Amino acid sequence: MKMTAKYSQIKKQLHLEKSNKFKDGVAALTHYWQSNGEDSGKYFQKDAEAFLQLAAEPEFHYKLPFEYDVPFPPMKHPDFTFIDLFSGIGGFRIAFQEQNGKCVFSSEWDKYSQKTYEANFGEVPFGDITKVEESKIPDHDILLGGFPCQPFSIAGVSKKNALGRQHGFLDKTQGTLFFDIARIIDAKKPKAFLLENVKNLKSHNKGNTFKVIEETLKELDYNVYSKILDARHYVPQHRERIFIAGFSKEHFGEQVDFAFPVPPEGEKRFGNILEKKPEAKYTLTDHLWNYLQEYAKKHKAKGNGFGFGMTDLNGVSRTLSARYYKDGSEVLIPQGKGKNPRRLTPEECKRLMGYPKEFLIKDIGVSDTQLYRQFGNSVAVPVVKAMAAAMMEVMKSYSKDKMEEQRKEREELLKGQKVKAEVN
């Protein structure tokens, strides 16, 4: 019987981990492998071959089929394809793979997040998305992007500027990472997209930033829906995030029957995610604990609510942030009288964000500090799972016949508009 090689063996044989200088080469190669001879592979083949010639083994037979010995291997018979932008460690990917979707492109520039991602999915994301041409991205059904909450500098909507130009709103987002999402949607026209950001995106700059984002997406010919969802119904953490879902009018027609998921009743219990015997190093030192108490006292005196968050084991925690590694102050765990509280372990962060058990974080060469940052930046996976399921309802309800019907309707509508314009 022919033995199938394993992904981990081939990776080792090619010393991929040491190919840091050729990160996008490794990205191309791992993307090419994942395509498994499917259409998306053609986008990466040339760069994958060049990388093998240049950095790895020119003789290597890269077309070998092999077994993916990673926790979340690519789907063999997918129902749809998607791309994972600002992928972080792949919270979106887990949710959409579970719906039998296949990821055909990922991008994340942080090298430690890339490491965690590769260990779990067998794929190295491409780097800086602002440097990726749309033509290098395979066609896909759904675009996913939890884009960073960078300080936005999107100018207010001005009708005057938007008029008479094909992409007035798109121009307004230039220089922001949202612009990169919009230009990829514009070029690739996915059937749907799902974007995620902090709750404050909605109120930033008196609501103008969000308005520009929404208008831009609408102008790209999508029905756009947005809602703030709190993860507390899915994981024991208060975490409010805005989710923006879009469905292409070209594909689904003018009316889309989309509903945001209804969260399950009740809340989760924080105590349930705790490890039985966390290592002593997670207990706060006297120095740090005193500092946090003093700091809280000072701010309380000034009438500010900022301070540490001692978590109620029967309740839900505060929002885990990307700076949790600094002092862990927002989510502290009481350890009884006479003992300083402790911070969460990375494994507990993983649980607090609703990552599945199989998700690998141990022995992958990523430090606790980096793992705290990665989870703090990430999504509560069960919330995205609920969003993915809700979006699938729309995707599935559009049979080929119905889509054809919609397409014809739309053609008629456009024809009508043209005739009207000519008459005018």
Instruction: Give the catalytic positions in this structure.
Output: 149
To ligand SAM, the closest distance from the beta carbon of 145 in angstroms equals 8
Q: Residue 87 or residue 311: which is nearer to ligand SAM going by CB?
A: 87
**164: how many CB neighbours lie within 10 A of its CB?**
7
Return the number of the residue (149 or 256) whose C-beta is nearest ligand SAM.
Answer: 149
Sort residue 371 into left (φ over 0), alpha (ψ -120 to 50) or beta.
Answer: alpha
* Residue among 108 and 348 whose Cβ is closer to ligand SAM: 108
- Tell the smallest beta-carbon distance from residue 26 to ligand SAM (Å): 16
- Residue (176 or 216) nearer to ligand SAM, CB: 176
Residue 216 · residue 172 · CB < 8 Å: yes
Q: What is the CA radius of gyration of the chain?
A: 24
Assess 130 for contact with ligand SAM (CB under 6 A).
yes
Kind plus residue range of the DSSP H or E element containing 211: helix 208-219
Alpha-carbon span 277 to 363, nearest angstrom: 19
Q: What are phi and psi of 225, to 5 degrees?
A: -130, 140
Report the nearest approach of ligand SAM to the CB of residue 211 (Å).
21
- Binding to ligand SAM by residue 107, rule CB under 6 A? yes
Are the C-beta atoms of 228 and 185 separated by less than 8 Å? Answer: no
Give yes or no for a contact between 376 and 322, defined as CB atoms under 8 angstroms apart.
Answer: yes
Beta bridge partners, 333, equal 342
CB of 134 vs ligand SAM, minimal distance in Å: 14
* Residue list 348-377, contact with ligand SAM (CB under 6 A): 377
Give CA–CA dist 317/238, Å, rounded.
6
Q: Which stretch binds ligand SAM (CB under 6 A): 35-43, 58-66, 84-92, 199-207?
A: 84-92
Our finding on whether 113 is near ligand SAM (CB under 6 A) is: yes
Tell me whether residue 86 or residue 398 sits nearer to ligand SAM (CB atom): 86
Does 123 participate in binding ligand SAM (rule CB under 6 A)?
A: no
Cβ–Cβ under 8 Å, residues 1 and 90: no
Using CB under 6 A, which of 22, 72, 92, 355 touches ligand SAM? 92
By beta-carbon proximity to ligand SAM, the closer residue of 146 and 341 is 146
Question: How far from chain centre, in Å, is Cα 49?
Answer: 29
**Residue 108 interacting with ligand SAM (CB under 6 A):** yes
Residue 196: name the closest of 41, 345, 86 by CA: 86
Q: With contacts defined by CB under 6 A, name the span among 1-9, 88-96, 236-244, 325-333 that binds ligand SAM.
A: 88-96
Torsion angle in degrees (nearest 10) through CA of 284, 237, 99, 137: -70
Q: Does 91 bind ligand SAM (CB under 6 A)?
A: yes
Residue 379 is a binding residue for ligand SAM (CB under 6 A) = yes
Binding-site ranges for ligand SAM (CB under 6 A): 86-92, 107-110, 113, 128-130, 146, 148, 177, 377-379
